[in-house]
Structure 1
Amino acid sequence: MKIRMLVEMSGTRNGVPWPPRGQVVDIPTGEAQHLCASGIAEAALDHEASGTETATPPPSATSAQPPAEVTTPPAETKRTRRVKAAPADDTTGADTVTE
């Protein structure tokens, strides 16, 4: 039975790598039916046995690159953090530090 592969499969079948997605291959009917039932392949018509899929996306989908994203970094700000209170004999009275 001839089937068309709908997915890429890793590994080998009888020592031969699986055909690429879109290619038509002739394999035993039982195995072909199993692959079709699981969604890995679909039955191919005899006149479709030409080989690899040749579809290409429309030119508009591949020709124009989107513009690069431009962002402005945030403004630098001073950060303040709390520190442990100074011992009672410290006369500065400061308990914050500005970095």
Structure 2
Amino acid sequence: MYEEKDLVISYFKSSGPGGQKKNKTESAVRIQHLPSGIIVTATESRSQLTNRQTALARLRERLLALRRRRKQRVATNPTRASRERRLEGKKRQAAIKKIRRTTVRSEE
């Protein structure tokens, strides 16, 4: 799926709450897959190893999603019953609008 030479792995200090431990250790992991340009990060754990494994799993999922082929959509025609229902609804709406029109004309 991917080779080690295709990845650029960098470590950085993650942001957010966590205090001194989180502020001074570079436990967050960012992995870039060069051929596809996908970048994934993992900052959940305080362990660099755990974050690296999480990021690799995310990268694997993203690459599988890229390879997955979408099903071709098959266009279908509406059924006779659905056409009749739509026309019936239009007739009902037209009748309501016809009632709303002013039918009284002023006599001259």
* TM superposition score normalised by structure 2: 0.28
Q: Kindly name which structure, 1 or 2, has the bigger radius of gyration based on alpha carbons.
A: 1
Comparing both structures, which one devotes a greater share of its residues to helix? Answer: 2
Q: Which has the higher contact order (CA 8 A, sep 6+)?
A: 1
* TM superposition score normalised by structure 1: 0.29
Comparing both structures, which one devotes a greater share of its residues to strand? Answer: 1
